[in-house]
Amino acid sequence: KKKKSDSFLRRPPHGFRTPRSYCCCWFLRFLQAPVNDVFTLPGSVQDFRPLFVSREPGWSVCCQIIHRKSQLCESQSTAHTPQLQYFTTSALHRNEVIVVKTPAFAESVSEGDVRWEKAVGDTVAEDEVVCEIETDKTSVQVPSPAAGVIEELLVPDGGKVEGGTPLFKLKKGAGAAKADPSPAAEAPASPPEPPTPTAVPTPAPAATAHVTPVSPPVAEAKPVAAVKPTAAPPAPAPQSAGHRGESRVKMNRMRLRIAERLKEAQNTCAMLTTFNEVDMSNITEMRNLQKDAFLKKHNTKLGFMSAFVKAAAHALVDQPAVNGVIDDTTKEIVYRDYVDISVAVATPKGLVVPVIRNVEAMNFADIEKAINALGEKARKNELAVEDMDGGTFTISNGGVFGSMFGTPIINPPQSAILGMHGIFDRPVAVQGKVEIRPMMYVALTYDHRLVDGREAVTFLRKIKSVVEDPRLLLLDM
């Protein structure tokens, strides 16, 4: 039956010419039709004839399309019923369970060990760290892709995983559902409290005097004796003065890799160490005079590390053998025309050496900013493998821990490493007089297979002269 109003059955816009377009246009209009109405499409549309529109509770739209040459039948009949097509709209499904996989590793890393920070049933927010994967070079954090609840851990703690390995199952949106009941539970708890204070003001100040004597009985010997058993468990440990115990902790992958590389350096390189001392008077004076202006302009502090890094870059350009490396596979010496200096940083999980690249083109401010950025990433455990790849020379500053003297070990495949130590006032001879100067011992360990003693000593003296008088950098001397 057609409606009297022709507005509903008016012809489609001019742009719709094909039968398919007619069907789409008429179908969209039928979606707005009243329930249980039958309409006949125009004669120009040959694909469909009658159409029965019905809506059932719980569905946004429920339509049955009856093809041509088929009689109109009720929705409950199944015999001779043509194909039914249902069009529904609904909200996005919450509580969807997804599987989070191991992120892809760098090319030089193949596997890692999982260290879980969350357990089954824990609620996590989006981007909250669920676990860490310890590799040979760094730790990779795995954040939650969405807010929800952890349903299952697919890898045990300490298990080995590769890139793409399923880690855990996350139920999306479940955390919000759990968070809703808690405010509701807190709401009923708050109303009972107001009535009690209303009864308290009636007794007047005398009641307050009666309330205070009630507290002393709580401090009597009986309650104290009752509290002692709760604090008793930690007490037995110190009771046995002669107790001698030990604990075993599995070495993480980073510590194992560090041990392997250090031993490899000892077995491969012909290491030799030369020493010198640096008078820190001039660089200390320059730092004290310019540190405030430097901080105001560059928004970073001026330290001693930038002076040694820049002096090392200057010396590496002057002595290219120290900046080179031996390729054991091809039996060739590789000389670099760039300077990438690795700075050793101590972290709770081990020693890492992030790289400052193209130091020869940097000034003091650029070096300080790069060191601060890498140090911050190391403290937050956010160093990537790319931050530690490469490096042509390494500087290790043991002076921050109060070291006075030491012999550093080469970081393979590099050929040399500079060891800095603490600054201490010592008596030194200056122009025939004994003066107290701030002095630092420096040590250079080098691979004697590539670097000769003459080159090593010249290199270390170049660093000494530049640090003692930074004006040599301006004169390129």
Query: Percent of the chain having pLDDT more than 70?
Result: 66
412, 264 contact by CB (below 8 A):
yes
pLDDT digits (tens, 9 = 90+) for 447-468: 999 999 999 999 999 999 999 9
- Give, for 460, the enclosing helix (H) or strand (E): helix 453-468
- pLDDT grade for 85, boundaries at 50, 70 and 90: low
Whether 291 shows a pLDDT value over 50: the answer reads yes
Whether 194 shows a pLDDT value over 50: the answer reads no
Tell me, what's the pLDDT at 341? 95
Of 15 and 139, more confident:
139
Q: What is the C-alpha to C-alpha distance for residues 443 and 394, in angstroms, rounded to an integer? A: 12
- pLDDT grade for 229, boundaries at 50, 70 and 90: very low
Tell me, what's the pLDDT at 198? 43
Tell me, what's the pLDDT at 205? 41
Tell me, what's the pLDDT at 40? 47
Residue 452 appears among annotated catalytic residues: yes
Tell me, what's the pLDDT at 361? 93
Which residue type, as a one-letter code, is found at position 472?
L
Tell me, what's the pLDDT at 464? 96
Whether 95 shows a pLDDT value over 70: the answer reads no
- Only one residue has tokens 């004669």, namely 43
Distances (CA, A) of 276 to 60, 312, 397: 84, 14, 15
Tell me, what's the pLDDT at 50? 44
Q: What is the C-alpha to C-alpha distance for residues 441 and 304, in angstroms, rounded to an integer? A: 14
Mean pLDDT of 52-61: 42
Whether 89 shows a pLDDT value over 80: the answer reads no
Tell me, what's the pLDDT at 59? 42
Q: What is the C-alpha to C-alpha distance for residues 50 and 134, in angstroms, rounded to an integer? A: 66
Residues of 2-15 as b/e, b for ≥16 C-beta within 10 angstroms?
Answer: eeeeeeeeeebeee
Tell me, what's the pLDDT at 72? 45
Of 165 and 234, more confident:
165
pLDDT digits (tens, 9 = 90+) for 401-439: 889 999 999 998 899 999 999 999 999 999 999 999 999
Biggest distance spanned by C-alpha atoms of the chain: 121
Whether 445 shows a pLDDT value over 90: the answer reads yes
- pLDDT grade for 375, boundaries at 50, 70 and 90: confident
**Exposed / middle / buried, residue 466 (Cβ in 10 Å: 0-12, 13-18, 19+):** buried
Tell me, what's the pLDDT at 106? 72
**pTM beyond 0.85:** no
Whether 19 shows a pLDDT value over 60: the answer reads no
- Mean pLDDT comparison of 15-29, 85-99, 164-178, highest-scoring range: 164-178
Tell me, what's the pLDDT at 172? 85
Mean pLDDT of 129-149: 85
Which of 298, 318, 366, 448 is catalytic? The answer is 448
Whether 78 shows a pLDDT value over 60: the answer reads no
Listed range (92-96, 103-107, 189-193) with the worst mean pLDDT: 189-193
Residue 421 appears among annotated catalytic residues: no
Phi, psi of 435 (to 5 degrees): -130, 155
Mean residue pLDDT of the chain comes to: 75
Q: What angle do CA 124, 175, 131 make, to 5 degrees?
A: 20
